[in-house]
Structures are given as C-alpha cells and as structure tokens.
C-alpha cells in the first residue's frame, strides 16, 4: 500500500476531470492520515502514564497488509445518539409518560438548547461519568450546532410550511477531508455544496471564516479566505432554501483523527487485579478514549481490544479509513396507501459514497458518506405519511434509529510478540510540555472568535513555510510548558519566541518566528517541546511542512502577533480542559 485513499475513493469523483487537483488532494489526504496514524501510535507520553507507545496498532504504509474477508472485521453501531437514551429515558418517562419515546426523538432532532427552552427541563449529566462517587453535573453536550449528534452521524431536516418533513439529509463525512479539499480548490467545494444541498443559492463567500471585524481570514499559504466548517449551509439540524443543512460532520468528537486515535488506544489491554478488562464502558474509562455511553466509542474500543486480546492480532483501521453509513433496515418502514406502487427504497438516495466498494481491495458492506430521504418527484404522498416502526415519521432521528454506522479493522498476526498489558491510564511522575496546535496566529484568533473546536473543529491542514525564509506570527498552543520552553523541529529549523502568554489551567500560548535554512530538507517536520535539556523529546507529527522557496504566495500582509483576549482565553480553556 503506497498511500491512504480518500473516503470511499471520493476524490476520484470530486475531481474526475481535474487530474492535477485530484493528485493534490489525494497526496495531501494520504499525508494527513499518515500523521494521524503516527500520532495515534505515539499515544500520550506527555501527560498520561501507561498510554505510550501503542505498538499493536500498525501503519499499513510501513507494515504490508492486504484487507480480505478473513482478516477484516466490520465494526457497526446505531446512528441514533445513545447518550440521549441512556441519560434521559427515565426522566422523559416521568415528564412525558406515553410520549417519552416521541420526545427522545424530538430531542435528537432539535438538540438540548431548543428542547430545554421549549419544555422547561434542565438537561444535565454527570461531570465525570467514569467516577460514580462524583455527583457534580454539567450541561448535556457536546456543544455546537449539531454537537449532540455524536455517533459519527449528523442530519438536517427540511420541512414544508405545515411543519411536515419533506427531506432528511444524513452525513458521515469527516470535516478534515473538506478542509483539505477547500485548500486545493474552493470552487470545487462550492460546487459540491450546491450539488449536495440541491441549492444554487450557496455562494463562495457564505463559506468564508470571518474575523471579529467581519472580514475574511486570509490563509497565508494560499492567499485565499479560510474555510468555516460551521458556515450557514452546514450548521444546525434544520435546512431551508436560505440556510442550514448537513454537508459534513461538525460535532467536535466526530472527526477522523479521533477515530484513528481511539482505534490505536484500544489496542492496549488494560489490567486490574491481574484481570484484563473486557467490558466496553469500563474499558473506555480505563483507557481514557472517547465518551462513555455512546454507541460508537465503546463499541469501537471493545471490538478492537477483543481482536488483540482474543485473537492476538495487531490492528489498523481499514483503508480507505472513514465513517460509513449503512443501508437502512427498510423492513421498519410502512408505506401509505397513497404511495401507489412506490416503495421506501424509492424515497432513499445515496448522495455521496456508495453501497458497494469501488476499490481494488476488500472493504466490508456499504461505504455511504451522505444519503437523503425524500419523496420522489411526482409522487402524491408525504414523508410524514410513512410509518417508522409503526409510528408516523415526525423526526429525522426515527430514521437514524433504523440504520448503522461502520468502520472496519484489518488484523495481522502478532507473531512472537505479546499484546501490551498496562494498568488504567493515570498521571505520570513528570508531565512534559506538549503541542496542542500550531498555526498562523490570525487563523487561531479567528477560529477562537468563531468558537471552532468547541462548536466544531479547527483546520486540519498542515502549516507550511518556505525554505530559506523566516515566517513570523506563528501561534503555538501548548500545555505544561513555561516561558523558557524549547522548540525542536530538527536540523535546519530554528524558533524565536517573540511573545508568551500564560493562559491558566496549565496552558500556554507562544508567538514565534520560525526560520528555515536555505538548504533544509523539504517535507514534514515533527515538533518536540522540552522544559529542560534532560526532558524526553516526544514529537508530534503533522504540524509543520517546509516547502521550496517561491512555492507560497507573497501577500505582503503583516503577521498578527497579538496575544489572546480574555474571551479567547476562556475559549482555549474550554478546548484544552
């Protein structure tokens, strides 16, 4: 295997007649997934004990493995947000009695804020669900326009003037692919938005990330405006001709990087009192990955862990790595008499991805990235006349209740090696400084203003600098560092700290200038931070790339070297809590 392919090989369709752009996105995407893989193998040696290294998660670009029916396992879970069921079923039975199930579906559609406002119910959950002795609570989350739809499935509902459902769009596409696609070709992204939403009203400027003054944030590496993942056309659980919609995932936990990191973390066996933990929720607490009581995280972790424990297999997520929707259980739908020969399958359409694997290697079941339920043109019935599990279709979440989401893992024999057995993750004796983000300061500040990575994700594109130049105004968000922390990018790169800010809660901001020698080797440069010369230097990959002199546009824009405002600091503390 020479590269990681794009989800469902989608770049081959997105850039069908643009071979140069297709090569750019495919190479950039493969590099990104490789960085995620390397970092996931690294684990967390900076602020956790017993979480490094993760030697039973292999990199298929390094270790040959061809997926087959015999060595590849599908991991599936329900698309409906299980934490809603877990935390609120009993509460809703008390409040709504026979309507409890209907209200759970409504909650999954409109979210905790709108639901609390409508019904006057306070919706809180344990602050630390892994510690039953801790009685502190917090508002139900995650935050964001669709934050609560956290099973790698988000949807937006379109309704007519009477409030009846006319369409439901389901997406499983990770935001990282769209960030990379935007960097390669914003025009393609706009065209795809119009196509996916079947709406010619989408304009380029609708997708721009704006700063506090309402101006587009210009990306230094491209000279073009930055992408806002929670723009007006990809924000919230409802859609209309003037805004809203579900193009790609937005909930912060629904990222590809989180998926790979979780898969790698789950390859470590967790042992308490000489017994290996096998319970899904106990394991997730012991390993500190993902969120307890979701359908997805515990299921992924338990399945991967079981392959290591029971079959002694080293694991990697199967290429092309992505989250894929599966075909609904159509037997759960009942069509109205007015359907006049139409079936439920006539109301279902795959918008992106495919129900069959178009690739050369094995991938189990469906590879659906985006699907839509909608009455066929010319039909004389409404979606609201269809029954789902015997009840009229009122909420998009009723459909989410009858299909699954999937990823897959491919195993190879562990050989003479023994699986890693560690105690539960804990606090290390010495905490090391770690990199959280590295990007141009003006992009960081605008992202914080827009509450990205609380409501959605920050850009996943690597920061680039040219050989033989000094690039100013680069922000490094760090944890457990101090004013004298050192930066190690390896040979040919040097860092000058121009300003420093203690953000509280063991988080720091550095504003730096990075100088690349004229003869420095081009390519990706992992970064290690160190507080003392004797600190172990664990590197984070995918934060910086050196490109040839003259590769980037000369914008003539002064770098932003401002420190963070109080509001921005609070936002960082939410991100890095």
Q: Tell me what pLDDT residue 571 has.
A: 85
DSSP H or E segment with residue 306: helix 296-311
The residue ranges of DSSP E strands in 249-390, in sequence order, are 269-272, 275-276, 313-317, 324-325, 333-334, 348-354, 367-374, 387-388
- pTM tops 0.85: yes
Give pLDDT tens digits for 539-575. 999 999 999 999 999 988 889 999 999 989 988 888 8
Q: What CA–CA distance (Å, rounded) separates 287 from 267?
A: 10
Query: In sequence order, which residues have a C-beta less than 8 Å from that of residue 156 and are 6 or more positions away?
Result: 146, 168, 169, 236, 237, 238, 239, 244, 245, 246, 396
Position 557 scores a pLDDT of 84
Which stretches of the chain score pLDDT less than 50? none
d(CA 346, CA 375) in angstroms, rounded, equals 8
Quick check: 229 and 456 in contact, CB under 8 A? Answer: yes
Structure tokens at 257: 């990087």
**Would you state the structure tokens that stand for residue 177, as one six-digit string?**
């692919």
How far apart CA 73 and CA 411 sit, in angstroms, is 8
What are the structural domains, with CATH classification, of the chain?
Answer: 1-78+151-429 (no CATH), 434-575 (2.60.40.10)
Structure confidence at residue 290 (pLDDT): 87
CA distance 81 to 78: 8
> CA quadruple 156, 159, 164, 165: dihedral positive or negative?
negative
How far apart are alpha carbons 288 and 277 in whole angstroms?
13
Query: Smallest Cα–Cα separation from 84: which of 327, 543, 401, 338?
Result: 401
- Output the pLDDT for position 298: 95
Rounded CA separation 106/373 (Å): 18
DSSP string for residues in 490-525: -TTEEEEEEEEEEEETTEEEEEEEEEE-TTPPPEE-
Contact 157, 373 (CB under 8 A): no
Burial class (CB in 10 A: 0-12, 13-18, 19+), 25: buried
């Amino acid at each position: 295997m020479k590269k990681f392919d794009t989800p469902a090989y989608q770049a081959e369709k997105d850039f069908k007649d643009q071979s140069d752009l297709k090569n750019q996105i495919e190479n950039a995407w493969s590099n990104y997934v490789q960085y995620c893989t390397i970092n996931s193998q690294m684990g967390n040696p900076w602020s956790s004990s017993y979480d490094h290294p993760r030697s039973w998660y292999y990199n298929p670009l390094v270790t040959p493995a061809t997926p087959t029916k015999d060595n590849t396992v599908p991991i599936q879970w329900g698309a409906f947000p299980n934490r809603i069921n877990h935390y609120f079923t009993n509460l809703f039975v008390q409040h709504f009695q026979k309507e409890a199930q209907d209200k759970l579906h409504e909650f999954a559609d409109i979210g905790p804020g709108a639901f609390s406002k409508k019904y006057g119910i306070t919706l809180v959950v344990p602050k630390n669900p892994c510690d039953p002795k801790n009685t502190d609570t917090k508002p139900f989350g995650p935050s964001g326009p669709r934050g609560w739809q956290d099973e790698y499935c988000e949807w937006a509902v379109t309704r007519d003037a009477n409030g009846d459902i006319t369409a439901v769009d389901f997406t499983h596409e990770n935001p990282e692919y769209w960030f990379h696609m935007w960097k390669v070709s914003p025009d393609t992204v706009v065209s795809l938005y119009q196509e996916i939403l079947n709406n010619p009203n989408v304009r380029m400027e609708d997708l721009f990330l704006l700063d506090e003054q309402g101006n587009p944030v210009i990306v230094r590496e491209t000279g073009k405006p930055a992408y806002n993942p929670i723009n007006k056309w990809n924000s919230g659980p409802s859609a209309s001709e003037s805004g809203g919609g579900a193009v790609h995932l937005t909930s912060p936990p629904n990222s590809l990087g989180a998926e790979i990191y979780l898969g790698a973390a789950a390859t470590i066996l967790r042992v308490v009192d000489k017994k290996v933990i096998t319970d899904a929720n106990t394991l997730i607490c012991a390993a500190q990955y993902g969120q307890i009581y979701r359908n997805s995280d515990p299921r992924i972790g338990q399945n991967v862990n079981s392959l290591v424990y029971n079959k002694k297999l080293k694991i990697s997520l199967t290429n092309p790595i992505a989250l894929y929707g599966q075909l609904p259980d159509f037997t759960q739908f009942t069509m109205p008499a007015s359907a006049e020969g139409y079936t439920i399958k006539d109301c279902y359409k795959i918008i992106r991805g495919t129900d069959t694997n178009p690739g050369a290697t094995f991938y189990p079941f469906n590879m659906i990235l985006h699907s839509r339920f909608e009455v066929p043109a010319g039909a004389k019935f409404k979606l609201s006349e269809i029954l789902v599990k015997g009840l009229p279709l009122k909420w998009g979440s009723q459909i989410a209740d009858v299909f699954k989401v999937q990823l897959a893992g491919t195993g190879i024999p562990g050989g003479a090696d023994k699986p890693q057995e560690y105690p539960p993750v804990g606090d290390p004796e010495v905490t090391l400084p770690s990199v959280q983000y590295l990007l141009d300061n003006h992009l960081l500040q605008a992202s914080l203003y827009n509450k990205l990575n609380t409501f959605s994700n920050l850009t996943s594109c690597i920061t680039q600098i040219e050989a033989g130049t000094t690039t100013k105004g680069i922000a490094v968000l760090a944890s457990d560092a101090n004013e004298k922390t050192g930066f190690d990018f390896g040979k040919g790169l040097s860092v000058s700290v121009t300003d420093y800010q203690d953000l509280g809660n063991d988080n720091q901001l550095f504003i730096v200038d990075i100088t690349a020698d004229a003869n420095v080797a081009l390519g990706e440069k992992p970064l290690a931070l160190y507080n003392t010369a004797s600190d172990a230097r664990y590197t984070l990959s995918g934060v910086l790339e050196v490109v040839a002199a003259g590769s980037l546009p000369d914008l003539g824009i002064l770098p932003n070297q401002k420190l963070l405002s109080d509001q921005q600091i609070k936002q960082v503390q939410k991100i890095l809590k």
